[in-house]
Chains A and B, each alone.
Chain A
Amino acid sequence: MRPSPARLLNILVPVKRAVDYAVKIRVNAQQTGVDLNVKHSMNPFDEIAVEEAVRIRERLSKEGSEPVTITALTIGPAKSVETLRTALAMGADSAIHVEIPESAPAPEPLGVAKTIRAIVEKQKEKEAVDMVILGKQAIDDDLGQTGQMLAGLLGWGQATYASKVELDLEKKNAVVTREIDGGSEQVRVKFPMIVTTDLRLNEPRYASLPNIMKAKKKPVMKMSPADLNVSLEPQIETLKVTEPPKRVGGAKVESVDELVEKLKAAGFTAV
């Protein structure tokens, strides 16, 4: 039998530059948001997404079958290009940077999803995207909607909160194990599809020095939201951000009676 022509599997991985999870978050003086003048890195769930895309390619190239291309995408100010370099150093082949001004408000999930859709549609002209892998949420706004909205906008199938992804290129589908309450669930989704990643999916690799060097030479295409004909204007207005009340230290009591007295004074009564 004649071998079928090599077909590329094209994976798009949208990543977000977020305040690093190890940083202690502080509300800014105006109470309009948090202090952003701190260490940023790639949203950890997105890092898992990049890792998964790279692992998919490693698995497939081992079997000598179709090669995979991985494109990383980010929306953000000029500095976000660092996040793309990390994705490229981990193994993405190329990157797209939708640049917004430093002063622009943080994009909301719907705007982000529409931007990703615009990219997917643009890519159709040359290498159609078969799979979008992205974090289930970003750790800065915790909104957790982009993947689902994107699936809705594109009319694609989605497998969210993935802890395992197995591809069947012949049948053009994937069996995805999902994290659900009290267990896991397996679903089969046809290409093209959306996967959102959960913590157990994998453990992201270190970026090796040769790959960091190579990443510098990989192409990063820049565009603006206007080029894609999308608007990232927020639809929600943040009124106020406050820190949780400070925990008040405990105190030792001498006796049970004293404890009961203190509880009563604090307004606790017997049920």
Chain B
Amino acid sequence: MGKYRGKSTTVLRPKTTQEVSEIVKWCNDRRIGIVPQGGNTGLVGGSVPLKDEVILSLSNMTQVRSFDPISGILVADAGCILQSLTDYVAPHNHIMPLDLGAKGSCQIGGNVSTNAGGLRLLRYGSLHGSVLGLEVVLPDGTILDQLTTLRKDNTGYDLKQLFIGAEGTLGIITAVSILTPPAPQASNNVILALPRFENVLPLYKTVKRQLSEILSAFEFIDRTAYDLAVKHGQGRALSEDEVEGAECFVLVETSGGKREHDEEKLNTLLESLLEADEPLINTGVMAQNPAQFSSIWALREGVTEAVSKEGKAYKYDISIPLSTFKECVDLTRERLRSKGLLSEDKVKAVMGYGHVGDGNLHLNVVANAYTEEIQDALEPFIYELVASHRGSVSAEHGIGAMKTHALHYSKNEVSVAWMKRIKAMFDPNGIMNPGKVLE
């Protein structure tokens, strides 16, 4: 994003867990800071050195250690790229339980360290559930081997959970054991145009009830985000009369075991939506072939790319009650307007999109340039807004270097104090990813 620039002089690329362990031990003895780095696709500066730390890149650790096609349990080195793991399990009719825009570069170790969410969370849950075991090099060089492949294991504290989402501040994940679900035999998607945001929630309720187990994504894109995606050529746009009067869009994806069954359910749903006395939707389109399927997804997934093409982005990845999605976007826009910042040469657009199913809103502000004025208008305003709804200031992007100062908006003093105690216990010398997560 061009926001962070490291000052490291050294990158180490170990090939084995043993090598990682030796490096970490050496650094710990000499009090040298280490920044673990995966695909470097994080959005909050978690993988960027703040001073002159050594970068420890996992990108040379790319072996799949084992895969059991019956249980679907995959054990792989941390440096495996998500897409290559997807390709690895595909012939066995399995898929990775997570999928995100950066899949071609991000690594599984980084995904776990940041507890990445993404597009399949609604269906397959968070990594806290699908990760079955981890191999971690602790800050003193000890190898913590919890690389088990058990679905059930109630034997004492579940230490691995501490490393999921710790962003490399407690140790370095070197291998992951993860449960991969069977690949759906049929997928379909539709994009629906809604006249009012207020319809999103009743629509979600209806869709959930009617599609039940085949619902695999329910994504929300407001009009500004849609227009921006179309402007920057992300996916094929709907025709003009279809988008007319639409305040926002919803993308619904189904994945199931039998095409006819899924289509019947989807068709019944769409019929009931269109024929309702007070329809929740204006209209919509349904993919007729895989090309259109990806094109419809591109309208949603491409928003991120479109935003970066349009200008400099202030990105807020927040968890808030579904009913407040629009309010938050509107209040932020109003705030910028009242400060006189809403103009072509300052803030070009304020938009919301994200995972309705997970209560996760991506609130994006596109500006011409990063300026203090805009920054001050947005923060702590947005954080306070989120805190007022008891939301999370970072739903899936993490804290990294960017949001350490905002942690207290989502976690109270007692929680932060205990986090600090855990950090001090694992890493008394503070060498692991210094300056991240905790101030």
A residues engaging B (CB < 8 A)?
A: 20-23, 39, 41-42, 44, 86, 89, 203, 205-210, 212-213
Q: Does residue B213 face the partner (Cβ distance < 8 Å to A)?
A: no
Query: A89: which B residues are within 8 A, CB to CB?
Result: 288
Residue ID in chain B nearest A203 by CB atoms: B236
Binding stretch for chain A, among B56-64, B278-286, B404-412: B278-286
Is B236 a contact partner of A206 (Cβ separation < 8 A)?
A: yes
Is B289 a contact partner of A207 (Cβ separation < 8 A)?
A: no
Task: Name the contact of B242 in the complex, choosing from A39, A203, A208 (C-beta under 8 A).
Answer: A208
Q: Complex Cα distance A208/B270, Å? A: 11
Is A208 a contact partner of B283 (Cβ separation < 8 A)?
A: yes
Query: B267: which A residues are within 8 A, CB to CB?
Result: 212
Is A209 a contact partner of B239 (Cβ separation < 8 A)?
A: no
Is B288 a contact partner of A209 (Cβ separation < 8 A)?
A: no
Query: A21: which B residues are within 8 A, CB to CB?
Result: 291
A-B contact pairs, 23 of them (CB 8 A): A20-B289, A20-B290, A20-B291, A21-B291, A39-B289, A39-B290, A41-B289, A42-B288, A44-B291, A89-B288, A203-B236, A206-B292, A207-B285, A208-B238, A208-B285, A209-B190, A209-B273, A209-B274, A209-B281, A209-B283, A210-B274, A210-B283, A212-B270
Is A213 a contact partner of B271 (Cβ separation < 8 A)?
A: yes
Q: Complex Cα distance A86/B286, Å? A: 10
Leading 3 A-B pairs by shortest Cβ distance? A41-B289, A206-B285, A22-B290
Residue ID in chain A nearest B241 by CB atoms: A208
Is A213 a contact partner of B285 (Cβ separation < 8 A)?
A: no
Query: A205: which B residues are within 8 A, CB to CB?
Result: 239
**Size class of B's contact patch?**
20 to 34
Of listed A23, A86, A213, residue having the most chain B CB within 10 A: A213
**A248–chain B nearest beta-carbon distance, Å:** 20
Interface string of B76-108 (1 = CB under 8 A from A): 000000000000000000000000000000000
Interface string of B335-365 (1 = CB under 8 A from A): 0000000000000000000000000000000
**A112–chain B nearest beta-carbon distance, Å:** 22
Q: Complex Cα distance A206/B291, Å? A: 11
Residue ID in chain B nearest A41 by CB atoms: B289
Q: Complex Cα distance A205/B291, Å? A: 12
Is B286 a contact partner of A207 (Cβ separation < 8 A)?
A: yes
Interface string of B219-237 (1 = CB under 8 A from A): 0000000000000000010
Residue ID in chain A nearest B238 by CB atoms: A206
Q: Complex Cα distance A84/B74, Å? A: 42
B residues engaging A (CB < 8 A)?
A: 190, 192, 236, 238-239, 242, 267, 270-271, 273-274, 281, 283-292, 294, 296
Is B236 a contact partner of A41 (Cβ separation < 8 A)?
A: no
Is B283 a contact partner of A41 (Cβ separation < 8 A)?
A: no
Q: Complex Cα distance A91/B285, Å? A: 14
Of listed A41, A86, A206, residue having the most chain B CB within 10 A: A206
Query: A41: which B residues are within 8 A, CB to CB?
Result: 288-290
Count A/B pairs, Cβ under 8 Å: 57
Residue ID in chain A nearest B293 by CB atoms: A22
Q: Complex Cα distance A86/B294, Å? A: 18
Is B290 a contact partner of A209 (Cβ separation < 8 A)?
A: no
**B203–chain A nearest beta-carbon distance, Å:** 13
Of listed B270, B289, B296, residue having the most chain A CB within 10 A: B289
Is B288 a contact partner of A213 (Cβ separation < 8 A)?
A: no
Query: A207: which B residues are within 8 A, CB to CB?
Result: 285-286, 288
Query: A213: which B residues are within 8 A, CB to CB?
Result: 270-271, 274
Is B286 a contact partner of A209 (Cβ separation < 8 A)?
A: yes
**A187–chain B nearest beta-carbon distance, Å:** 30
Residue ID in chain A nearest B291 by CB atoms: A22
Known: A206-B292, A209-B283, A212-B286. 19 other contacts (CB 8 A): A20-B289, A22-B290, A39-B289, A41-B288, A41-B290, A86-B288, A89-B288, A203-B236, A206-B238, A206-B239, A206-B288, A206-B296, A207-B285, A208-B283, A209-B190, A209-B192, A209-B273, A209-B281, A209-B285
Q: Complex Cα distance A86/B292, Å? A: 13
**B281–chain A nearest beta-carbon distance, Å:** 8
Q: Complex Cα distance A203/B291, Å? A: 12
Residue ID in chain B nearest A206 by CB atoms: B285
**B280–chain A nearest beta-carbon distance, Å:** 12
Q: Complex Cα distance A118/B283, Å? A: 39
Q: Complex Cα distance A250/B46, Å? A: 37
**B292–chain A nearest beta-carbon distance, Å:** 6
Q: Complex Cα distance A89/B287, Å? A: 11
Query: A208: which B residues are within 8 A, CB to CB?
Result: 238-239, 242, 283-285
Q: Complex Cα distance A251/B106, Å? A: 27
Q: Complex Cα distance A44/B283, Å? A: 25
**A6–chain B nearest beta-carbon distance, Å:** 26
Residue ID in chain A nearest B284 by CB atoms: A209
Query: B291: which A residues are within 8 A, CB to CB?
Result: 20-22, 44
Query: B271: which A residues are within 8 A, CB to CB?
Result: 213
Query: B236: which A residues are within 8 A, CB to CB?
Result: 203, 206
Q: Complex Cα distance A20/B293, Å? A: 12
Query: B238: which A residues are within 8 A, CB to CB?
Result: 206, 208
Is A42 a contact partner of B284 (Cβ separation < 8 A)?
A: no
Is A209 a contact partner of B289 (Cβ separation < 8 A)?
A: no
Is B292 a contact partner of A209 (Cβ separation < 8 A)?
A: no
Query: B296: which A residues are within 8 A, CB to CB?
Result: 206
Q: Complex Cα distance A206/B281, Å? A: 17
Q: Complex Cα distance A208/B283, Å? A: 7
